[in-house]
């Protein structure tokens, strides 16, 4: 075993594994792992031509997602023994009875299920069930002169400045979750050139008031990491979502917009876009200790 903490130098190493074994869960991109490593420290290892990703938690190390490669989950549990207590965010579609050691307990993890949409639905908002979305966008376009542009290394500082304004409007310092997200967004934007990212921004009166960032997840699916819009502009959130899917993600059939974390308002928002399907995930707890 060569267990070690994740660093920026692991970018190419991990990206090559993910190219060979395309993931289905949103957690498994180098961007996601690196950007959120302060909230959940990440460790990596190799086992039988497979990449293993571990998150450091109060319960110790847990396997994050499925092994990236051919090694069986049961072999990972056997190899690590008592060093890990569970597997988390494990895609249910990859779970088989043969993967489970005696005494393991499988728990549904609805809060971390990924929402996956047809890209065309997000880009066109066609049909009666998207009437409210189109109305919000039309109101935004009628009230403001919105100009869309691709994020470049040169415009990253403006996006960071907008994120500061967004956080001030939401009083991020009082909410640990928003503090963690803020740091992850900063890490992502500061490494915009090094990571395989695509992003879009909307200017109103010359100033960036919305931005979003994503990247390829697998050959058919892109993942959206972050999406922010200043709250005083009604309909701007719906607009950045639509224009990003239309202009940046045209080569993909699907868009993974990550999980709702069990937050009621976020769940309603994600469900309102009529997902094509959910990527269901489970926790696999060893020795039946939930």
Say if residue 201 is in the same domain as residue 244. Answer: yes
Beta strands across the sheet bearing 42-46:
4-5, 42-46, 51-57, 60-64, 84-91, 281-285, 105-108
Measured CA to CA, the distance from residue 199 to residue 215 in angstroms comes to 8
- 170 and 253 housed in the same domain: yes
pTM of the model: 0.95
Residue 118 sits in the same domain as residue 107: no
| 254 and 118 in a common domain | yes
- For the stretch 158-189, pLDDT in tens is 999 999 999 999 999 888 899 999 999 999 99
Same-domain status, 119 and 253: yes
CATH assignment at residue 169: 3.40.630.30
pLDDT band at 1 (very low <50, low <70, confident <90, very high): low
* Predicted confidence (pLDDT) per residue in 88-114, tens digit: 999 999 988 667 777 889 999 999 999
Whether residue 82 lies inside any domain: the answer is yes
Look up the domain containing 12 and give its range. 4-112+281-288
In a domain, 89, yes or no: yes
Q: Output the pLDDT for position 96.
A: 80
Residue 248 near residue 199 (C-beta atoms within 8 A)? yes
pLDDT score, position 123 = 98
Look at residue 250 and tell me if it is in a domain: yes
- Report yes or no on 169 lying in a domain: yes
- Clarify whether residues 132 and 249 are in a common domain: yes
Number of domains the chain contains: 2
Examine the domain organization and report whether 252 and 121 are in the same domain: yes
Digit-coded pLDDT (tens) for 5-14: 999 999 999 9
Query: Are 42 and 64 spatial neighbours (Cβ–Cβ below 8 Å)?
Result: yes
Report the phi/psi class of residue 192: left, alpha or beta, with left for phi > 0 and alpha for psi in -120 to 50.
alpha
Same domain, 168 and 66: no
Per the CB < 8 A criterion, the answer to whether 286 and 85 are in contact is: yes
Asked whether residue 268 is domain-assigned, the answer is: no
Domain annotation covers residue 272: no
Q: Answer yes or no: do 17 and 147 share one domain.
A: no
114-118 vs 146-150, strand pairing mode? unpaired
Considering the domain architecture, whether residues 147 and 195 belong to the same structural domain is answered as yes
In a domain, 275, yes or no: no
Tens digits of residue pLDDT in 46-88: 999 999 999 999 888 999 999 999 999 989 988 888 889 899 9
């Amino acid at each position: 075993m060569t267990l070690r903490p994740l660093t920026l130098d692991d970018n190419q190493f991990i990206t090559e594994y993910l190219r060979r074994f395309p993931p289905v869960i949103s957690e498994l991109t180098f961007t996601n792992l690196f950007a959120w490593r302060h909230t959940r420290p990440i460790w990596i290892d190799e086992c039988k031509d497979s990449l293993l990703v571990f998150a450091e938690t109060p319960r110790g190390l847990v396997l994050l997602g499925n092994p990236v490669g051919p090694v069986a989950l049961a072999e990972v549990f056997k190899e690590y023994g008592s060093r890990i207590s569970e597997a988390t965010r494990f895609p249910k579609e990859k779970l088989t009875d043969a993967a489970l050691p005696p005494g393991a307990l499988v728990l549904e993890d609805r809060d971390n299920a990924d929402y996956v949409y047809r890209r065309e639905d997000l880009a066109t908002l066609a049909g009666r069930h998207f009437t409210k979305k189109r109305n919000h966008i039309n109101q935004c376009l009628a009230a403001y002169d919105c100009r869309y542009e691709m994020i470049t290394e040169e415009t990253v500082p403006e996006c960071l400045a907008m994120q500061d304004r967004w956080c001030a409007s939401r009083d991020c310092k009082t909410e640990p979750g928003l503090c963690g997200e803020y740091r992850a967004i900063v890490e992502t934007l500061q490494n915009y050139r090094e990571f395989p990212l695509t992003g879009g921004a909307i200017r109103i009166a010359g100033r960036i008031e919305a931005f979003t960032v994503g990247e390829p997840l697998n050959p058919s699916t892109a993942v959206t990491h972050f999406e922010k819009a200043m709250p005083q502009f009604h309909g701007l959130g719906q607009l950045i979502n639509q224009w990003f899917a239309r202009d940046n993600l045209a080569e993909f059939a699907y868009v993974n917009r990550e999980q709702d974390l069990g937050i009621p308002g976020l769940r309603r928002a994600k469900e309102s876009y009529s997902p094509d399907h959910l990527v269901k995930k489970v926790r696999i707890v060893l020795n039946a200790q939930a």
